[in-house]
A = this chain, B = another copy of it.
Amino acid sequence: MAHKIGRQTVIIDSPVGIAAAAAVGSKKEGEGPLRKSFDIINDDSRFGKDTWEKAESKMQELACWKALRKAGLEMGDIDFLFAGDLLNQCIASAFGARGSGVPYLGLYGACSTFSEGCGIASVFADSFAKNCLAVASSHFCSAERQYRFPLEYGGQRPPSAQWTATAAGAAVISREAGAPFVKAVTFGTVEDLGINDQNNMGAAMAPAAAKTLSQFFRDTYSDPEDYDLIVTGDLGAVGTKLMRELMAAEGFSLGENYDDCGLMLYDREVQQVEAGASGCGCSAAVISGNIFPRMKSGELKNVIAISTGALMSPTSVQQGETIPGVAHLVCYSSDKGWIF
C-alpha cells in the first residue's frame, strides 16, 4: 500500500504500471521531430468537427480509444477517468467523457494536469482500482483565442512566448500491468515568484518545477544522476534555463539527462514556435507517445516526469495578479523492484 515519505512524496508500493498510452496531434505536431511518437496525426486541426473546442474533445476521445486498444481493454474496463484541459470549465474533457459511462474526476492543473491525473490514478490503482485512465489535451486555436487574441487578429508573439500544442495524451494506469512502473508521486505546491508576463509562462512555472523536483530528491534521498531522464512539462527555452539555475541554487545540478517536453515537440529553428511548446496536451502527448515507449524499449530505465502548470486566467492578469505555477511529478521505472 502506498505510503508517504519525507515532506510530500507518495511511494507507490503495489505494482502499478502503464498498461498502454497514446498520443494524438495535428499538422504542426506531425511536422516536428516527434512525428513518429504520435499514434494519430490528423492534418485537419478541426478533427472533422465544426468548432475547435469540439475538435479538442474529439482528440481526447481518440487518445483514450487508442490507449485502450493498445492495452486490449474497452472503456467498460476502466474504473475511473481523470481528465482535464485548458478551456474555461474544462469543456473539452467533460464533453469528451460524456457517454463513456465511466466515473469521471475532472481536474484543473493547467499544463500540469496530465501528471496530476497520472498521480491520482496511481494512488487509486495502488489501493483499489484495477484500471484508470488519465487524459489531458490542448488545442492551439481554442487556447489562443481564449487566453490571448482571436487568431484573425494576427497578434505578434514575443520570443518568450510558447506555442500551445494541438495534442492529447492518454495513459491506462493499471494494477499488475507491465513496465513502465509508477514508483512515486510528488504533488506540488502553488509557487509564485512574481512573474506577471503572460507571454512568459516558462518563467512563471519554473519555480514550481524546481520546488517539486528538489523536494522529491530530498524526500527520496536521490540525485539527478540517479535518473536516465528528468523531463519537465513545458518550460520552454526561457523556463528550462531558469530551472537549471533554480535547481543549482537548491544544490542539485541538472546535467545532460535533463530535457523539456516543450523543447522536444517542435523544431524551434524551423517551426516558428518561439520559446517552444506548451499546453496540457504537450506533456501529455510527449510522455505518452515518446517517453513511455522509450522506457518500454529499454532505452530509458528510471525517469522523472514533471508536468508544469501556470494557474492564471485572462481575468487574473487583467486584475494585476502575478502568475502562480504548480508542478506535479511522477517517477517511473522500467524495473519493478527498483528503489530510488
Which positions in A face B, CB cutoff 8 Å? 1-4, 8, 10, 51, 53-54, 79-80, 84, 86-91, 94-95, 97-110, 116, 120, 123-124, 126-129, 186-192, 311-316, 319, 321, 324, 326
Contact = CB atoms under 8 A, between A and B. Distances in A.
A1 B95 contact: no
Most chain B beta carbons < 10 A, residue from A53, A88, A110, A191 = A88
Contact of A91 (B3, B186, B315): B315
A80 B192 CA distance: 18
A189 B324 contact: no
Contacts of A314: 88
Given A107-B106, A189-B101, A316 B2 contact: no
Contacts of A186: 103
A327 to B, nearest CB: 10
A87 B314 CA distance: 11
A189 B102 contact: yes
A113 to B, nearest CB: 8
A277 to B, nearest CB: 19
17 contacts: A3-B128, A8-B103, A53-B319, A84-B108, A87-B315, A88-B313, A89-B311, A89-B316, A90-B108, A91-B311, A98-B324, A99-B190, A101-B189, A103-B187, A103-B189, A104-B190, A106-B116
Contact of A79 (B1, B8, B101, B107): B8
Given A190-B98, A312-B89, A315-B91, A326 B54 contact: no
A312 B91 contact: yes
Count this chain's copies in the assembly: 2
Given A88-B315, A95-B316, 20 more contacts: A1-B128, A4-B128, A88-B89, A88-B314, A89-B108, A89-B312, A89-B313, A91-B311, A91-B313, A91-B315, A94-B190, A95-B321, A97-B190, A98-B192, A100-B190, A104-B326, A105-B187, A106-B107, A106-B109, A108-B108
A84 B110 CA distance: 13
Given A53-B319, A116-B105, A127-B1, A88 B91 contact: no
Nearest to A321: B95
B190 A2 contact: no
Contact of A53 (B100, B105, B315): B315
A106 B105 contact: no
B110 A108 contact: no
Given A53-B316, A187-B103, A1 B4 contact: no
Contact of A189 (B10, B86, B104, B316): B104
A106 B4 contact: no
Contacts of A84: 108
